[in-house]
Amino acid sequence: MTNSKNKTPVLSNPWYPVCCSYVIIFVNLSLRDIKTLVMGKLSVYNFTSVNGYFKGLNEDVSWAHRIASGEVSDFAAENAQSGAILLFGRKTYEMMASYWPTDAAKKNAPEVADGMNKAEKIVFSKTLKQVKWNNTRVIKSNIVEEVQKLKETSGKSITILGSGSIVNLLAEKGLIDEFMIMIHPVAIGNGTPFLKDISENIDLELTKTKPFKGGTVLLYYQPSRQKVSDPKQREKNMAHETH
């Protein structure tokens, strides 16, 4: 598969499809929302299989990228703009940081790489001591309070990429304004379900859909009812993501 603009093979680096899939929502969101925000809008993006898993056994996500689409890559490139604040758990952050600052990323997807590298980035981790990716800072504790503060003071759209346990915590606290789920046309045998650790139902309303060639579909949901839960148990479960 090649990029339609520069004919460079976009799959020359194995991280490209994963990172490009995550960044689609961040770049598109900043265009849609940043001019109309009064309080920062918090969105979450993740991809899932048709049977609801966002990662397979041993953190495997290769299943999500076996059907690569130039249309998906072009969609990301056309919408790439800095402006949104990006939130990560440690694992997702390290995956992104290993690719987007590289020369390969800048060659394969220059517009997307530029947007990712310029964006303000926050990684939630109790053990990460330093970060090398520019415009990145680490928050080690009080995740709920810090995210609430961002929403109240940043005036920007805020997007969580991947980072399942952080999503679980913030969803139960009613802080997520939009869920964007990229469903891939594949069923996998086992893995980690999206939102697997929530303790209460979260009712969602479908607001938009965007199909891509190859059968991938992007679904936009907004919570129709959110309940506030005690986050203590969820914070204990976050160790796997943030350590």
Count CB neighbours of 42 within 10 A. 20
pLDDT, tens only, 143-200: 999 999 999 988 888 888 877 788 988 998 899 999 989 898 999 988 888 988 888 8
pLDDT band at 122 (very low <50, low <70, confident <90, very high): very high
Q: Phi and psi dihedrals of 178, rounded to 5?
A: -155, 135
Q: Compute the distance between CA of residue 110 and CA of residue 128 in angstroms, rounded to an integer.
A: 28
The structure's pTM equals 0.74
Beta strand pairing call for 217-225 and 203-211 = antiparallel
Say if residues 243 and 127 touch (Cβ distance below 8 Å): yes
pLDDT, tens only, 23-59: 555 545 444 444 444 568 898 888 889 999 988 888 7
Q: Compute the distance between CA of residue 243 and CA of residue 241 in angstroms, rounded to an integer.
A: 6
Give SS3 for 163. coil
Long-range CB pairs of 30-35 (<8 Å, 24+ gap) are: 30/81, 30/82, 30/83, 30/84, 30/157, 31/79, 31/81, 33/157, 34/83, 34/84, 34/156, 34/157
Q: Compute the distance between CA of residue 163 and CA of residue 165 in angstroms, rounded to an integer.
A: 6
